[in-house]
Amino acid sequence: MEISSPEFYLAILQIIAIDVMLGGDNAVVIALACRKLPDEQRRKGILWGVVGAITLRILLIFFALQLLALPYLKIVGAVLLLWIGIKLLQPDEDAHGSVEGSSTLLGAIKTIIVADVVMSMDNVIAVAGAAKGGIVLVVFGILFSVPIIVWGSSIVLKLMDRFPLVITLGGALLGWIAGEMVISDKALAPWLQDPPHGMHYFSAAVCALLVVAVGRYLALRPGEPEDLAVEEISAADRSR
């Protein structure tokens, strides 16, 4: 993919969107990890923690790009992306309570790096799919999106809360990339040597619609019987 081609810049925009949608929580982790540091060390903790996290993430995506070149692994990655997209459309669950702040600079940096790696596996798969084999795209996309995640995440998260359509579009984007990955898998090459015109976009659109439909259905369905029973018991206790 040439740097002067429209596809290059479209892929960068996709990577930035993925990082913003799936990386907003990383800013929360950074804040939690550095909250016990003295004021003069917080900036250093954030800076070096982010540098370490970015370096490891680029390495992980590099290896993911190599793996996706193998037959059937793009299909596996596409299935994972569909699941990630559906999960993105579900109600939020607070998962930051287990992030412990550190009173030392090195401890905070270590916490940021480890937490980022653990939380970013979905991000790695999605970015590798959007990059279509180009590590340059990965570096460009991450460098552009990091300032947004670290300094603008609160604005992005507020936008997501106020306009749920933003989250829906993010899930659809992951589904779109999954559809592109399936069609480009080497294992399907013998059957797709001369695919019909527009099949690439058709597969992407179908997967995008699938993520939105399944994700919205699961998000809107009634609670489980156990949850309803607990709510009924609590209501009965309050009425006494």
> In sequence order, what DSSP letters do the residues of 46-87 get, joined into one string?
HHHHHHHHHHHHHHHHHHHHHHTTSTTHHHHHHHHHHHHHHH
Per-residue model confidence as pLDDT tens digits over 180-199: 888 888 888 777 766 677 78
Residue 95 has phi, psi (to 5 degrees) of: -115, 20
Q: HSE of 62 in the Cβ direction (CA atoms, 13 Å)?
A: 9
Q: Where are the domains of the chain?
A: 6-239
The whole-model pTM stands at: 0.71
Q: Is the pLDDT of residue 93 over 60?
A: no
Per-residue model confidence as pLDDT tens digits over 35-64: 778 877 887 887 788 788 788 878 888 888
For the segment 170-188, the average pLDDT, to the nearest whole number, is: 85
- The span from the CA of 199 to the CA of 217, in Å, is 27
